[in-house]
């Protein structure tokens, strides 16, 4: 494995909770414009500066993947390696791969894809995948730092997801 720079400052518990709440607010904004309840936030290496926010767009353009692609167009790979992508729900394998290729060095999520499946059930609009982001990142040459799930945030995130999917 090649050597890559450090991912920058690790987030504090307070920063993790604050940025996960913000990603959940972005997910609520997605719902307000007719999209599924997913949002992503990119935070700079200082773990304070919010660089970008992205709502879910559609079934192919998930919030995390769109954010990662736009970030890769606007920031250098070295800078992105020190950044953190926050998302309330674990990135699917497509999004995890896109985050990896965008060179974002850390991902923090609140609830797992499996926990989302428990909330949504076998919903035709959200056919979750049983390939975890951990599995994807464990098979990469660069060590993306993955933090999640965050138990203290689970009910807050799950209740929003449950409310959305119950009305579909």
Please list the active-site residues: 64
What is the DSSP code (8-state) at residue 151?
G
What is the DSSP code (8-state) at residue 23?
H
Whether the Cβ atoms of residue 85 and residue 41 lie closer than 8 Å to each other: yes
Rounded Cα gap, residues 138 and 97, in angstroms: 11
Rounded Cα gap, residues 98 and 95, in angstroms: 5
Rounded Cα gap, residues 70 and 42, in angstroms: 11
């Amino acid at each position: 494995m090649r050597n890559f720079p450090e991912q920058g400052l690790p987030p504090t518990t307070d920063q993790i909770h604050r940025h996960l709440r913000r990603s959940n607010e972005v997910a609520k904004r997605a719902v307000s414009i007719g999209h599924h309840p997913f949002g992503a936030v990119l935070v700079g290496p200082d773990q304070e500066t919010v660089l970008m926010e992205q709502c879910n767009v559609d079934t192919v353009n998930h919030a995390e993947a769109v954010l990662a692609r736009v970030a890769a167009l606007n920031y250098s790979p070295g800078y992105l390696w020190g950044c953190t992508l926050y998302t309330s729900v674990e990135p699917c394998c497509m999004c995890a791969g896109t985050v990896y290729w965008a060179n974002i060095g850390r991902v923090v999520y609140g609830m797992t894809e499996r926990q989302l499946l428990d909330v949504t059930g076998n919903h035709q609009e959200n056919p979750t995948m049983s390939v975890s982001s951990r599995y994807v990142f464990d098979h990469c040459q660069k060590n993306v730092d993955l933090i999640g799930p965050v138990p203290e945030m689970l009910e807050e995130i799950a209740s929003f997801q449950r409310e959305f999917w119950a009305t579909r």
